[in-house]
Amino acid sequence: MTKKAHSRVRKVVLAYSGGLDTSVILKWLQDVYGCEVVTFTADIGQGEELEPARRKARRFGIEQIFVEDLKEEFVRDFVFPMFRANALYEGEYLLGTSIARPLIAQRLVEIARKTGADAIAHGATGKGNDQVRFELGAYALMPDVKIIAPWREWDLTSREKLLRYADEHGIPVDFKKRKGGAPYSMDANLLHISYEGGVLEDPDYEPEESMWRITVSPEKAPNRPEYVQLTYEQGDIVALDGKRMTPATVLATLNRLGGKHGIGRLDMVENRYVGMKSRGCYETPGGTIMLKAHRAMESITLDREVLALKDDLMPRYARLVYSGYWFSPERRLLQTLIDESQRPVNGTVRLKLYKGTVMTVGRASQTDSLFDPAIVTFEEDYGAYNQADAGGFIKLNALRMRIAAQRRKANGPANPKRRTRR
Residues above pLDDT 90, as percent of the chain = 88
Q: Is 378 helix (H, G, I), strand (E, B) or coil?
A: coil
Q: Is the pLDDT of residue 177 over 70?
A: no
Choosing from 98, 130, 279, 323, the catalytic residue is 130
130 noted as active-site residue: yes
d(C-alpha 193, C-alpha 13), whole Å: 26
Question: Average pLDDT in the 142-158 region?
Answer: 94
Residue 102 pLDDT > 80: yes
Q: Which of 59, 69, 178, 185 is flagged as catalytic?
A: 185
Instruction: Indicate if the pLDDT at residue 6 is higher than 50.
Output: no
Examine the residue annotation and report whether 185 is marked as an active-site residue of this protein.
yes
Q: How confident is the model at residue 172, as a pLDDT?
A: 84
Does the CA dihedral 169-175-177-179 come out positive or negative?
positive
Q: Catalytic one among 84, 101, 133, 363? A: 101
Task: Decide if 101 is catalytic.
Answer: yes
Residue among 30, 40, 27, 29 nearest 115 (CA): 40
Contact indicator for 60, 30 with CB cutoff of 8 Å: yes
* Statement: residue 1 has pLDDT above 60: no
Which pairing describes strands 265-271 and 277-283: parallel, antiparallel, or unpaired? antiparallel
The mean per-residue pLDDT over the stretch 138-165 comes to: 94
Cα–Cα–Cα angle for 93, 99, 105, nearest 5°? 150
- CB-based burial, 239-257: b 16+ in 10 Å, e otherwise: ebeeeebebbebbbbbbeb
**Model confidence over 48-82: pLDDT tens digits?**
889 999 999 999 999 999 999 999 999 999 999 99
Has residue 176 got a pLDDT over 70? no
Mean pLDDT for all residues in the chain: 94
Which domains, and CATH codes, for the chain?
11-181 (3.40.50.620), 209-300+344-399 (3.90.1260.10)
Helix or strand run (H / E) with residue 69: strand 65-69
| Edge-to-edge strand ranges of the sheet holding 193-196 | 185-188, 193-196, 277-283, 265-271
Q: Counting every residue, how long is the chain?
A: 422
Res. 173 pLDDT band, cuts 50 70 90: confident
Are 104 and 82 in contact by the 8 Å Cβ rule? The answer is no
Residue 386 phi, psi dihedral angles, 5° rounding: -90, 105
Across residues 235-264, what is the average pLDDT? 98
Give the number of C-alpha atoms closer than 13 A to the C-alpha of residue 148, restricted to the C-beta side: 27
If one compares 19 and 349, the residue with the highest pLDDT of the two is: 349
Output the pLDDT for position 420: 56
Residue 280 scores a pLDDT above 50 = yes
Catalytic residue among 21, 98, 236, 331: 21
pLDDT at 181 over 80: no
